[in-house]
Amino acid sequence: MNPVIGLDISKGESHGQAFLERGKPYRGTFQFEHTHEGLSKLLQTVHDVEHTSGQRPLLVLEATGHYQSPVVQFLLKSRLRKVKTDAADAYLLGELYYKEEFEPFKKRGVQLLNLRYLTRQYESLSKMCVQTKLQFQAVLDQVFPASKVSSGLCILAFHFDF
């Protein structure tokens, strides 16, 4: 036997399908939340498949960025085999395991995760800055249609008689 469990990861909950071997699903599709109780349900399914097949199943899941983090962290802390990734739904992931080659899951360091987060924040702030400048320019053009704008700077001169 060559057991595998395919996991379709979503925000807050996931679906899974276990296979004892190619074309032989184990029970039906199951659902679990990303809570301690839900992840314990996943672990129990892993143990059930292992008991039935005599081998620990390989887990295959979507690479969903941060949605997979609670599941992967729980599996790593439960000392299960390394998790592999690919994109598809739970049933197809299990089927796909028998057809494709996968890259092992790589645990990211804290510095890399922080750098990724800061880079995304910088991109977001840069886009907001550009958008604000464009909106400001549009308002300026409406309020002062004859004003001269040079390199994004607008110099307005007013003379007040007191």
pLDDT in tens, 70-113: 888 887 777 654 444 433 366 666 666 676 666 666 777 888 88
pLDDT number for residue 114: 87
Instruction: Report, as ranges of residue numbers, the positions in the chain whose pLDDT lies below 50.
Output: 81-88, 150-151
Q: What are phi and psi of 111, to 5 degrees?
A: -65, -40
DSSP the chain: ---EEEEEE-SSEEEEEEEEETTEEEEEEEEEESSHHHHHHHHHHHHHHHHHHSSPPEEEE---TTTTHHHHHHHHHTTPPPPEE--S-HHHHHHHHTT---EEP-PPPHHHHHHHHHHHHHHHHHHHHHHHHHHHHHHHHHH-TT--EETTEE--------
pLDDT number for residue 49: 94
pLDDT number for residue 78: 73
pLDDT number for residue 87: 38
pLDDT number for residue 161: 58
